């Protein structure tokens, strides 16, 4: 009987020791698990922070790239506008060069025409019984040689606008001093001075559109008289204004 009680007490003691060890082991496991969870949470927070930093950096770089793309687009548009402006300027320059070339060729091909002659007479001339062409042979200027001192006729070398003027003098008391400017067979203008017996002057002129080969000259009507000397009181002049 005594032996049984002793065995029973020994068994209870061992059970309590075993149960105590198990409880201690459970507590140690729970404590370790808590430490592990705390460590895992800390590491997870660090990872999330790193990911946020990376995302922020990527966003900043994307914004920079977007801004660069917009800037490059604006620059490309400006370059295209400059190209268009340059093309327009080049076209205008080419047109201007063609105009300058044309003007140079026109200037080179346009004859220089100007003349001025006196009668070469000392004293009175006329009156004559018929109309006659006045032959002026005292050359003052004859650029282009369009005026003939042999015939007294100007021949237009090119189609264009010309200006002609003549001055005459007379002092007869018996005859009119009258001279006509002629284009081919047509009278254009006339200058006249009545017979006063005084030394007077008369003049006239005209701007004419002439075709190449048209003739211009002075005609002295019948019964008309003029006076001249070495001072060229009587003169006939003309020149080309521009071609047409």
Same domain, 1 and 55: yes
Same domain, 194 and 134: yes
Same domain, 141 and 184: yes
The whole-angstrom distance between residue 144's C-alpha and the CA centroid of its chain comes to: 36
Give the per-residue pLDDT at 26: 47
Structure tokens given for 115: 């003349």
Q: Final residue of a domain: which of 59, 88, 109?
A: 109
Give the per-residue pLDDT at 152: 96
Same domain, 126 and 206: yes
Same domain, 83 and 185: no
- Enter the pTM of the model: 0.59
Q: Where are the alpha helices (DSSP H) in the chain?
A: 2-109
Q: Using DSSP, state whether 211 is helix, strand or coil.
A: coil
Same domain, 25 and 143: no
User: Which of the 8 DSSP states describes residue 147?
Assistant: B
Give the per-residue pLDDT at 236: 98
Give the per-residue pLDDT at 77: 86
- The CATH number of the domain where 170 resides is what? 2.60.120.40
Same domain, 65 and 160: no
User: How many structural domains comprise the chain?
Assistant: 2
Q: Using DSSP, state whether 199 is helix, strand or coil.
A: coil
Q: Using DSSP, state whether 155 is helix, strand or coil.
A: strand
Same domain, 97 and 182: no
Structure tokens given for 142: 């004859």
Same domain, 91 and 57: yes
Q: Final residue of a domain: which of 109, 139, 168?
A: 109
State which residues form the domain around 91. Answer: 1-109
Same domain, 101 and 139: no
Q: How far apart are CA 70 and CA 72, in angstroms?
A: 5
Same domain, 102 and 156: no
Q: Final residue of a domain: which of 109, 126, 157?
A: 109
Q: How many CA atoms does the CB half-sphere of 60 hold within 13 Å?
A: 6
Please report, in tens digits, the pLDDT of each residue of the chain (244 residues total).
544 544 444 554 554 545 555 565 546 545 555 554 555 555 556 666 667 777 777 888 888 888 888 888 888 888 988 888 888 888 888 888 888 877 777 667 789 999 999 998 888 888 899 999 999 999 999 999 999 999 999 999 999 999 999 999 887 778 888 999 999 999 999 998 888 877 788 999 999 999 999 999 999 999 998 888 888 999 999 999 999 9
Same domain, 229 and 119: yes
């Amino acid at each position: 009987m005594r032996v049984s009680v002793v065995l029973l007490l020994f068994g209870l003691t061992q059970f309590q020791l075993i149960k105590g060890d198990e409880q201690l082991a459970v507590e140690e496991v729970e404590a370790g698990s808590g430490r592990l969870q705390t460590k895992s949470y800390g590491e997870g927070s660090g990872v999330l922070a790193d990911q946020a930093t990376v995302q922020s950096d990527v966003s900043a770089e994307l914004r920079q790239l977007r801004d660069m793309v917009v800037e490059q687009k604006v620059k490309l548009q400006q370059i295209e506008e400059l190209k268009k402006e340059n093309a327009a300027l080049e076209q205008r320059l080419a047109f201007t060069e063609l105009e300058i070339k044309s003007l140079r060729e026109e200037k080179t091909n346009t004859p220089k025409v100007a003349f001025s002659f006196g009668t070469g007479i000392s004293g009175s001339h006329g009156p004559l019984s018929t109309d006659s062409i006045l032959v002026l042979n005292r050359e003052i200027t004859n650029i282009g040689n369009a005026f003939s001192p042999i015939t007294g006729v100007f021949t237009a070398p090119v189609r264009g606008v010309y200006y002609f003027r003549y001055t005459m003098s007379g002092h007869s008391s018996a005859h009119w001093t009258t001279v006509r400017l002629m284009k081919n067979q047509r009278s254009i203008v006339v200058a006249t001075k009545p017979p006063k017996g005084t030394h007077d002057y008369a003049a006239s002129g005209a701007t004419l559109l002439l075709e190449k080969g048209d003739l211009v000259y002075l005609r002295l009507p019948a019964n008309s008289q003029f006076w001249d000397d070495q001072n060229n009181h009587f003169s006939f002049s003309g020149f080309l204004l521009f071609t047409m």
